[in-house]
Amino acid sequence: MTEHIEVLPDRAALVDRAFALTIDSIHAAIDARGRAVLALAGGSTPKPIYEKLSACVLPWDQIYIFWGDERYVPVDHPDSNAGMAKQAWLDHVAIPESNIFITPTLGNDPAADADRFNTQIADFFTPARGAMPVFDLIMLGMGDDGHTASLFPHTAALDVTDRYATLGEKSGEPRLTLTFPVLQHAHTILMTIAGSNKQTALTHIFAETCDDREYPSRRLRQATGELWWLLDAEAAISPSV
C-alpha cells in the first residue's frame, strides 16, 4: 500500500487536486486495463469535483460508474447520492446509460436492495472464487464521526467481510454500502476531507493506536493499493496530522 497525505490550503485547492488525481487515475486505468471503474461518494465535498468533471472530454464509453454508498431514497430525491452525481456531472456528458450502475433503492426492503447491490457488483466484476472486485478508483468522504461510505461507528456493517455490499445504518435509517474488503482492494482510494469538524476524527485516525470501530475510516489504512488523503487546512489543523 502507498499512502499519501496532502494538506491543501482551502476547499478550492482540494477540489482542484482531487479533480487532477481523478483524471490521472481514469487515464491510468484505461491505459492499463482498457476501462476505468469508479465508485462515487455522496456528501457535499465531492460535488464541485463532479461539476469540474462534467466539463471534461474523456473516453466516456470506457468509464463505468458505481456508488460507494447510497441513502435509501429514490434517485430523484434530493438526498440521493446518485441523483447528486447525475445532476452535477453524469447528465452533462456522453457516458452511455448502460455504463451507470445506480445503486438499487427500488422497493421498501433495504435488505433485499442490499442483496441487489451485492449482485450488481458480482455480475459486473465476476471475481474468481475468493477474489475481490477491484475498482480502479473509489472516491470517498469522511463524516465528523469518522464514518466513510455508509460504514458508521459501531454498526454491524463494519464487520461484513463475506459480501461486497451490505445494509448500513445511520441512526436507525437504512443505507446501502460497499463493505470494507471491497474498499480496501481498490487500485486507488481518494479520500477528500474538508472542514474543521473533521479534526477530531482525523487526530484519532492518524494516532498510533485507535479504536477503528469508533473511527471506521481508520480501516482504509489497511488498503492494498494507493490511498490518498486530501485534507483542507481547516480539517488538518491538529498537532497529530
Site residues for ligand 6PG per CB under 6 A: 41-45, 69, 81, 141-143, 147-150
**Cβ at position 33, least distance to ligand 6PG in Å:** 26
d(CA 95, CA 139): 18
**Cβ at position 143, least distance to ligand 6PG in Å:** 4
DSSP code string of 92-113? GS---GGGB-PPP--SS-HHHH
- Select 25 or 177, whichever has its Cβ closest to ligand 6PG: 177
Give the number of other CB atoms < 10 A from CB of residue 10: 11
**Cβ at position 84, least distance to ligand 6PG in Å:** 9
- Select 142 or 157, whichever has its Cβ closest to ligand 6PG: 142
- Select 127 or 195, whichever has its Cβ closest to ligand 6PG: 195
The CA-based angle 46-151-241, given to 5 degrees, is: 65
Phi/psi of residue 69, nearest 5 degrees: -160, 165
- Select 130 or 172, whichever has its Cβ closest to ligand 6PG: 172
**Cβ at position 62, least distance to ligand 6PG in Å:** 26
Return the C-alpha cell found at 61. Answer: 464509453
